């Protein structure tokens, strides 16, 4: 657990060690996490807990993901620096920022206008120039920008995300939590180049659901 007297650097170092011991071992993924100040992405009430390896509440009843899960999903995506990535569920923009450090372009979709605007403010403050945002229903993907090298879904899809898979390159990789209940399976689809996929179940996860349409409330 984080000691609140510790400096942010010490707390971050402890977090990185915890992720590594849980299997997030790729240096470039750990480097992207280490260079992303998580307190920027959390609500004031939770800033002191920003370096904990836990999910935390954000606006609109949503959550910023647990750093271990962010690391694991990022690693599972097998990103190449030339990749164009589609992310569904911008939320705080934390995962987006980490992806943006590893890829050429990140397209990210969020169904809450408030979350989208807050995340855009953070991307600007961080000087990110390779993130493209869209307020909309990510379940439909981003057909105008398809196909993508990689797709990451950070909200739980009830079943196979067919629309998104159709926007993936033939040898692309898609990582998504799949399931209808409170616990879902983190699944990786790897295109075989012939229209089929290798499917791997990685770990049990708890994500907020992927909902249809844009949010009516702000």
Catalytic positions, written as ranges = 65
Taking CA atoms, 20 is separated from 27, 64, 71, in Å, by 9, 20, 9
Strand positions, DSSP E, the chain: 56-57, 63-64, 84-88, 105-110, 131-135, 148-153, 168-178, 184-191, 197-205
The site string for ligand SAH over 81-100 (x = CB under 6 A, - otherwise) reads -------xx-xx-xx-----
* C-beta closer to ligand SAH: residue 11 or 74: 74
Q: Does 139 bind ligand SAH (CB under 6 A)?
A: yes
Q: Does 112 bind ligand SAH (CB under 6 A)?
A: yes
- Alpha carbon distance 110, 138 (integer Å): 7
The arrangement of strands across the sheet holding 131-135 comes to 131-135, 105-110, 84-88, 148-153, 168-178, 184-191, 197-205
* C-beta closer to ligand SAH: residue 121 or 193: 121
User: Alpha-carbon dihedral of residues 128, 112, 87, 58, nearest 10 degrees?
Assistant: 70
* DSSP state for residue 66 in the 8-state scheme: P
CB of 126 to ligand SAH, least distance (A): 14
Query: Out of 63, 114, 130, 185, which residue is the one contacting ligand SAH (CB under 6 A)?
Result: 63
Q: Does 138 bind ligand SAH (CB under 6 A)?
A: yes
Q: Which stretch binds ligand SAH (CB under 6 A): 45-53, 134-142, 143-151, 160-168?
A: 134-142
- Alpha carbon distance 207, 204 (integer Å): 10
* C-beta closer to ligand SAH: residue 2 or 163: 163
Query: Out of 165, 202, 203, 208, which residue is the one contacting ligand SAH (CB under 6 A)?
Result: 208
Site residues (vs ligand SAH, CB under 6 A) = 62-65, 88-89, 91-92, 94-95, 109-112, 115, 137-139, 154-155, 208, 210-211
């Amino acid at each position: 657990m984080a000691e609140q007297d510790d400096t942010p650097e010490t707390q971050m170092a402890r977090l990185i060690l915890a992720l590594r011991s849980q299997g997030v071992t790729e240096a470039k993924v750990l480097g992207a996490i280490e260079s992303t100040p998580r307190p920027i992405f959390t609500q004031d009430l939770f800033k002191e807990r920003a370096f904990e390896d836990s999910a935390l509440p954000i606006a609109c009843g949503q959550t910023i993901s647990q750093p271990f899960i962010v690391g694991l999903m990022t690693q599972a995506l097998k990103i190449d620096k030339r990749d164009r990535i589609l992310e569904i569920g911008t939320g705080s923009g934390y995962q987006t920022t980490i992806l943006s450090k590893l890829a050429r372009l990140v397209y990210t979709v969020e169904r809450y206008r408030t979350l989208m605007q807050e995340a855009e403010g953070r991307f600007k403050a961080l000087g990110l120039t390779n993130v493209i945002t869209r307020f909309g229903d990510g379940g439909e993907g981003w057909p105008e920008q398809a196909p993508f090298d990689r797709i990451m879904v950070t909200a739980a899809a009830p079943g196979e995300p067919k629309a998104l898979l159709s926007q993936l390159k033939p040898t692309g990789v898609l990582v998504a939590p799949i399931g209808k209940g409170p616990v879902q399976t983190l699944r990786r689809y790897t295109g075989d180049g012939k229209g089929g996929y290798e499917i791997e179940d990685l770990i049990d996860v708890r994500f907020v659901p992927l909902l249809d349409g844009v949010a009516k409330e702000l």
